Amino acid sequence: MLASFVFVSLGMSAVAANAQSSPQAPKLGSLEGTVVSTSKATVVVKTTDGLYQVFVLDRDTARPQTIPMQAPVKVTFAPTGDATAPPIADSVVVTGPAPPKVAALTGDVPAPDPVEEPVPASVRQLERDIQRQARRWRLGARAASSLDPELFMFGVHSQMGPFFNENVYARPNFELGFGELTTFVGLNFEGVYRLPVTQRTSRWNIYAGGGPALTFSHRNFAEETDRGKIDFGDLDSDIGFNFLLGVQAREGLFLELKSSAYALPSIRFEIGYNF
């Protein structure tokens, strides 16, 4: 538990330092090009130089209700300063009509739709990662190794949000653990807060959180005596509180350190994935 408190304190100190170092809003940049792909969370623009740029669309982005494919646009955005983080669009303005479909030479039958723009695979992958990251409800799986008692654990969770703030998420989870002497079942009603020390669209993000835990553990061992084999068993239930600190990749992978107060196990290291 002490380790979790130390990690959380360091994270909050980094947040305060980040807030003090950037008191002014960043100057907006702009880019003009043609829309080659669009979704609820992203728009991909191709410039006249043949370069592709992925922009993130969030609830604060000023944009038309629909963004036509192949339409010329001007996008204003705040530079991220991170080459791995696509910028979040401040506004998207359609500056002209999309090219009309050309009628077929027969005159009666319309020409087929143009072939989809051959966007590079790396750009498509980034676009998919951002769309997955923007989902308000995600399922996930996890595995863990714990100390005191020594257990191998696995479980499932659901991530919902954001709520109240763009960085706050609910992540309830269910875990099963098995050890040499102990069997463990845990219900954790946790929430996480993404520490704003990096851009939301960065490759890796740091988060902290916690929540109440309801756990059940059964310890069983046997002893050979002169009267034969004797089995001992002990079933416990506890209500505690979890503290956690983790890092999560944009693609969905996360690593987490969790400590429990008034419940088992006392500390565990987890790896998981949000689909």
Q: What is the pLDDT of residues 152-174, one digit of tens each?
A: 999 999 999 999 999 999 999 99
User: What is the pLDDT at residue 145?
Assistant: 96
Q: What number of residues does the chain have?
A: 275
Sequence-distant (≥ 6) Cβ neighbours of residue 260 within 8 angstroms: 1, 213, 215, 240, 241, 242, 243, 266, 267
* One-letter identity of residue 248: Q
Other C-beta atoms closer than 10 Å to the C-beta of 45 total 24
Which stretches of the chain are assigned E, i.e. beta strand? 29-38, 42-46, 52-56, 72-77, 89-94, 137-147, 151-160, 168-170, 173-178, 182-188, 191-194, 204-225, 228-249, 253-261, 267-274
Residue 36 backbone phi and psi in degrees, to 5: -115, -15
* Blockwise average pLDDT, block size 10, the chain, 275 residues: 43 44 66 95 95 94 94 94 90 92 55 66 94 94 93 97 94 95 95 94 96 93 62 84 97 96 92 97
pLDDT of residue 158: 97
Residue 184 burial (CB < 10 Å; 0-12/13-18/19+)?
A: buried
Strand partners of residue 225: 228
pTM reported for the whole predicted model? 0.78
Answer whether 75's CB lies under 8 Å from 192's CB. Answer: no
Domain positions in the chain are 28-133, 137-274
pLDDT at 82: 84
**Which listed CATH number (2.40.160.20, 3.40.980.10, 1.10.3720.10, 3.20.20.210) goes with 137-274?**
2.40.160.20
Question: Which residues neighbour 82 within 8 Å (Cβ) at sequence distance 6 or greater?
Answer: 198, 199, 202
Right CATH number for 28-133 from 3.10.150.10, 3.40.640.10, 2.40.50.320, 3.40.50.150? 2.40.50.320
Closest CA to 41 of 161, 201, 248: 201
Burial category of 20 from C-beta neighbours within 10 Å (exposed 0-12, middle 13-18, buried 19 and up) = exposed
Query: Are the CB atoms for 114 and 145 separated by under 8 Å?
Result: no
Residue with tokens 């809003």: 25
Radius of gyration of the chain (CA): 25
- Which of the 8 DSSP states describes residue 112? P
> What pLDDT, in 10s, does the model give residues 22-41?
445 568 899 999 999 999 99
Q: For 233-246, give the DSSP string.
A: EEEEEEEEEEEEEE
| pLDDT given for residue 181 in this prediction | 87
| Paired tokens of 68 | 């036509």
pLDDT of residue 3: 45
- Establish how many alpha carbons lie within 13 A of residue 265's alpha carbon, considering only the half-sphere containing its beta carbon: 26
- Strand pairing of 191-194 and 204-225? antiparallel
